[in-house]
Chains A and B, each alone.
Chain A
């Protein structure tokens, strides 16, 4: 007491320096008080959540990492080495999971196509990318380059599409579907908004039909019954049929998303465009669509993510996407009973790519959120 009295400094009024806030109202303690223990319910919730994490995390970590086996020749060796997950299986079949049955000496082509795709995507998504203009021009011819690289011909050894598989197949279906379903979706949405009744009802019928049935029934039709509806003897590639079906499927959803955007564009905008003497297509291209698309970005990305995820369904018709490769590999006598590892591995792949898409959409949404917010 006395000591503190002695140590007490004297200040002129108004010159007292700011004292640090009392302990417990700053730093981690304050944060914890506010975010974890602010009220009885909150405390209960925190304890519950912490208990939940305690129950889940140690087991999951030891199974998937500390007790897991990463190098082994077969499952028995895995079991002998450790008690956790057997990732050696994935490691052994890495090539199969990535490239499917694509010939091993030709796999550089897939890698090259993928690198080019990454360049195009970076150029499209990142404005400050060096050489963006050149890459933009390249983006226009990229589909042809990629097709050539993957399928071969013109100097490269041809590779049939049924050799495609694994993540490569997922990415092909995803990227093609995404690239094609957007324009198609825009056309369908415009068609649905059109005041020409026949066009309108044709679009409505198409959209509602596609949205009303599950994708696997459509894929099943594509894989087995499409040939009944084609002239006798025609037969085109299964992958192409799947791509068409997936694109049509996604475009119907896309159309609905964009229709929402179109409806949000005030009528005055269209009337103003009319008054300026703009015809239908220029008015749409210059006035309506830019606004509508901007509004619908979250929905569009959601549709993309949905399409990408739906590509696993091709397993139902016998295309070997990562899941299909996994299931076929599980039939291998050396590696039975590892389904959890396979499913988790594929799940992680999808999570990473879809989460990235979702984050980018958030970023874009914020960036484009210029004005108009009331």
Chain B
């Protein structure tokens, strides 16, 4: 840096070259230079894109604004968790879509986890037949695109279930048709709130009791039947209360009227198909994760635990599962993310999720591609972020268990 500035003529050129080469060969300065270049390139890239977008939108006379969200959507949606009709705004349609996405993602995560654990355990089963069935199932499901599963399940549901006129009667309460599963809808009476309050109180009590029992166990070694007490508080007590208060719920049964069942609740075949297909598909991946996780716990651990005289159930609960979970949870969280993202394939069978409402019909009827896609992507990013945050939190928690 200091040399070469005052020297004249040809020497100054060589010394300047020296400066550059020296700057370049110095690790610190080089990293600064590389980063500055990267930053400039990045900015240039984004500026270029935005400039183009502004220019192009102007050229065809399209503005960029989210005002359309407050205009009436003008289309109807058949599956909705909140009230909506064709006069509602695009904003409302988007909310319907968000809730539908969350619903199918949540239901899918639950079912896929349960199925995945069962399949994973079956894969480890000593029974050759079940083991092989699980193997064939996992390999088939994993190696075929999920979109095909969705289409197949939907096709089978629509074509092999009966029409409403000849619905399958499930214990006089539900009716299974190719228009969906019709079930009685609970209409709460005021006293039901007491039952719900009891239920919530039960959960809170169980959490507190659990940590207290743990503390006692750590200090004195005394073990309480935490599980059964929790079950009593959360399930049995509210159920008893429910019947003691004289079943404070009215059920509105579905009735066949005209073309369809009226009243009650309905789960549409599109939801069922998407939910089942996503769960079956993801369960195959989870099964492999679970299998790997359980196999990762060395056999010595189990043997050591048995040698200490710890019963089988407790060995599983206290030794095997905590160690297996440590291996299972990180890949499991990415499977949960996958379910959420794959739920966007709903569009193929007409389940009205985010991609089908705001990213589909709204986009098409208003012609606001840019705004709609920004919203859709931002929403998926948000969901991904939330799920990874939750799973990271959970991961940290079970890591503490390992110590």
Contacts and interface: CB of A to CB of B under 8 A. Distances in A.
Contacts of A221: 373
Contacts of B369: 224-225, 228
A199 B34 contact: yes
A315 to B, nearest CB: 8
A214 interface: yes
Given A212-B384, A216-B355, A49 B145 contact: no
Contact of A213 (B126, B128, B133, B341): B341
Contacts of A52: 133
Nearest to B139: A355
A5 B155 CA distance: 72
B49 A202 contact: no
Nearest to B151: A343
A323 B148 contact: yes
Nearest to B160: A340
Contacts of B31: 195-196
Interface stretch (A34-42, A103-111, A264-272): A34-42
A46 B144 contact: no
Contacts of A328: none
Contact of B345 (A36, A199, A216, A350): A216
A351 B347 CA distance: 23
Interface in A31-74: 34-36, 38, 42, 45-46, 48-50, 52-53
B295 interface: no
Given A196-B31, A228-B57, A355-B143, A214 B380 contact: yes
Given A198-B39, A232-B56, A358 B125 contact: no
Nearest to A191: B38
A46 B39 CA distance: 63
B381 interface: yes
B380 A343 contact: no
A310 B380 CA distance: 18
B127 interface: yes
B344 A229 contact: no
Contact of A53 (B133, B341, B377, B385): B133
A209 interface: yes
B156 A220 contact: no
B247 interface: no
B52 A232 contact: yes
Nearest to A227: B56
B212 to A, nearest CB: 36
The winner among B130, B143, B156, B345 for most chain A CB atoms within 10 A is B143
Size bracket, chain B contacts: 35 or more
Nearest to B132: A49
A217 B372 CA distance: 11
A323 B147 CA distance: 10
A313 interface: yes
B155 A305 contact: no
A233 to B, nearest CB: 10
B143 A198 contact: no
A45 B125 contact: yes
Contacts of B39: 198
Interface string A336-348: 0001100110110
Contacts of A316: 347-348
Contacts of B34: 196, 199
Contacts of A199: 34-35, 38
B208 interface: no
B244 interface: no
Interface string B375-398: 011001100110000000000000
Contact of B156 (A45, A305, A340, A346): A340
B146 interface: yes
Contacts of B35: 196-199
A343 to B, nearest CB: 5
Interface of B, secondary structure class, is helix
Contacts of A305: 142-143
Contacts of A217: 344, 355, 359, 373, 376-377, 380
A220 B373 contact: yes
A344 B56 contact: no
Among B142, B148, B381, the one with the most A-chain Cβ atoms within 10 Å of its Cβ is B148
Contacts, number: 148
B131 to A, nearest CB: 8
A225 B370 contact: yes
A57 to B, nearest CB: 11
A354 interface: yes
Contacts of B385: 212
A45 B130 contact: yes
B344 A340 contact: no
B152 A350 contact: no
Contacts of A323: 147-148, 151
B144 A347 contact: yes
Contacts of A214: 341-342, 344-345, 355, 380
B308 interface: no
Interface in B16-43: 31, 34-35, 38-39, 42
Given A227-B56, A323-B148, A344-B152, A351 B127 contact: no
A312 interface: yes
B145 A350 contact: yes
B384 A351 contact: no
A340 B139 contact: no
B345 A198 contact: no
A241 interface: no
B140 interface: yes
A309 B373 contact: no
B47 to A, nearest CB: 12
A29 to B, nearest CB: 14
Nearest to A359: B139
Contact of A309 (B144, B337, B380): B144
A46 B130 contact: yes
A104 B128 CA distance: 49
Contacts of B197: none
B59 interface: yes
A211 interface: yes
Contact of A36 (B53, B55, B127, B140): B127
A230 interface: yes
Given A53-B133, A199-B35, A312-B148, A209 B128 contact: no
Given A229-B49, A339-B151, A49 B130 contact: yes
26 contacts: A34-B126, A49-B127, A49-B129, A53-B133, A196-B38, A198-B38, A199-B35, A202-B42, A211-B337, A214-B342, A214-B345, A216-B347, A221-B373, A229-B49, A309-B145, A313-B145, A313-B345, A339-B151, A339-B155, A340-B155, A343-B148, A343-B151, A347-B145, A350-B144, A354-B142, A355-B143
Chain A to chain B: the 10 pairs with minimum beta-carbon distance, closest first? A354-B143, A35-B128, A212-B384, A214-B344, A309-B145, A214-B341, A212-B381, A198-B35, A49-B129, A229-B49
Given A199-B34, A309-B145, 12 more contacts: A45-B125, A45-B129, A49-B129, A196-B38, A212-B384, A213-B380, A225-B370, A229-B53, A232-B56, A313-B147, A340-B156, A343-B151
